[in-house]
Structure 1
Amino acid sequence: MDEVDGRLVGGLVVLAAVANARSFGKAAERLGMTQSGVSKAIAKLEARLDTRLVHRTSRAVDLTEEGRALCERVAQHLAGIGEAAAETSKSRGAIRGRLRVNVDPLFSRIVLSPKLSEFLLQNPAMELRIETRDRIADLVSDGFDLAVRFGEPAPSALIARRILDARVLTVASPAYIRRHGRPAHPADLASDAHQCILAIDPATGRPFDWEFWRGGEVLPVAVNGRLTVTDSGTKLGACLAGFGIAQVIDLGLDDHLKGGALVELFPDWSDERYPLYVFYPSRNHVPAKVRSFIDFVTDSLSRQPRTALPVVSSAKRGKREPLIAVTAGRR
């Protein structure tokens, strides 16, 4: 609806209020306007239609024949507009309708997919569309209601809410350790004796750097590696198969670590954290379906087998690609 049509509808609403109240003053009270504002709105409507719509006397206000005919014709439409507005307001608090979510592929498989049926059974009036994408892109223009991604957010107009900080672990399989030995210190990975599985930074096209954190100390290491991948699942598979050492986050690794399929190499150097964020367009008038899904993700993470971690801040994040993300960022 353009600006002119908006003024026309506004004038018709004022006319209907005057017809019901038979007074500019009472109509103004009902509409939350001044009496002069009501009078001006009627005058503008009459000028636009080039027709006198209201008889004004010192004691009463009444509609002309043309005014009554116009009110009768538009009354149903104005009622429909009111009903639509009320329904829209009501729907904001109802968990219903379609929700379209942009998520990382591996995060969707590990965290979301086992619990989606639970969410949909709890919300029978909702239709959920999960789309696995490598990047957020433009959330609004692409038609998404929200996104769930790892890594520090780039500057944007989106609301970013951090819901988890995950540990960054350096792992290898027992088969790899049998063949190459277990490195005693992160600096040992600079030796030709070890192979590390590298991951490509999509922003630069070059492999991510490796770092190791202990307290306030950050140790960069120029690791060796003959295998470079762009897919997190391929990196994990190659690590499990014994080819090389990988840096991963601890979400979804509980079975591999407890079952012995993977060994954490440097538990004293695992203080680095990698954040998980939910993104949505605005903090004002957040639909109930969006709030409900964010609560669902948060609850799912709290029940995910892993070391419980508080959400903490860190001055240095956002350089490499995580096991569960292929976004521009640190892991």
Structure 2
Amino acid sequence: MPLPSVAEMIKAMLDSNPAFEGVFFTAVRTTRIFCRPTCPARKPLPENVQFYATAEEALTAGFRPCKRCQPLSVKGEAPEVVQQALKLLDHHPRVRWTDENLQEKGLDPLTLRRWFKQHHGMTFHTYARARRLGLALGQIQQGEKLDAAAFDHGYESESGFRAALEHTTGRPSAHARTLNVLHYTQILTPLGPMVAMAEDAGLVLLEFTDRPALPDEVQELREKHAYTPLPGDHKHLQHVREELSLYFSGKLQQFTVPLCMPSTPFQQKVWEALQQIPYGTTTTYGKLAESLGQGGASRAVGRANGQNRIAIVVPCHRVMGADGTLTGYGGGQARKQKLLELEKQQVAALLLPT
């Protein structure tokens, strides 16, 4: 795949820019070591660096993987201690975990606290409590009484559950049956971690975690669409995780995960049109506007395109400027280029004679 310009890659390396994760790898001639662009180690002199599109290319050229940033692993991959803790939550979702419980399982509470703060913005215990709260809410919305759901999920009193519910959701506990819970999780991809959010109607959000507009998108879902985001798994999250894995391995061209996209009627039209752009092809904002019968509204179409909350699945990366340039992309233009190249390569491979 074509690499960004050398100047662009040097700047991304010096800035540790996460938007270039998976786009290129930095190899240092003096040490014979290659790294991610976000490696926390001391930055090498630009004149000592060469760049590769894949880790395999760097290995073939005789470079060794860095032990600090581990370029052969998926960015954001949880260490073993975190994976064990997550399995505990999956197998025992109603347990109130304490530091003593974790230590008895051979898990270091401090390591978990630091990792969850860095990757989820909350401690492990807060994350576990939020998951329990989400499960209890689901039970209530299925018809269970509030006090029974509270005790079933580790709360010692109904008042404690009500207080936790109101603190987390910002809504009175009397609204528990009508809260629109938005389950969310992180999904690791070759281009960096993504956050996915879903409700029973479908996938609501899928964005790279470093997208600048992500906090505003989540706030809009809270305030304008009355969602209550809580960590946890969901069948639609499992579905999109599986399909993303197939997509990045070149084995899937059409996503089938159900979508739920609260929006204005105009945004809905644009997002539906985006889903009609064939895999491996591109269009322009002007042509997209014309397909909607809005020939003079390319700017409005571009704005709606940028407001799409479901990256990759709703392929806003397939829209280019009128002159064929990449133009803007919420996940970063380097990622946009990588996605387009992935799709073009797969289409080209299918056309090769057998």
TM range (shorter): under 0.3
Normalized per residue, which structure has more helix? 2
TM-score where L is the length of structure 1: 0.21
TM-score where L is the length of structure 2: 0.20
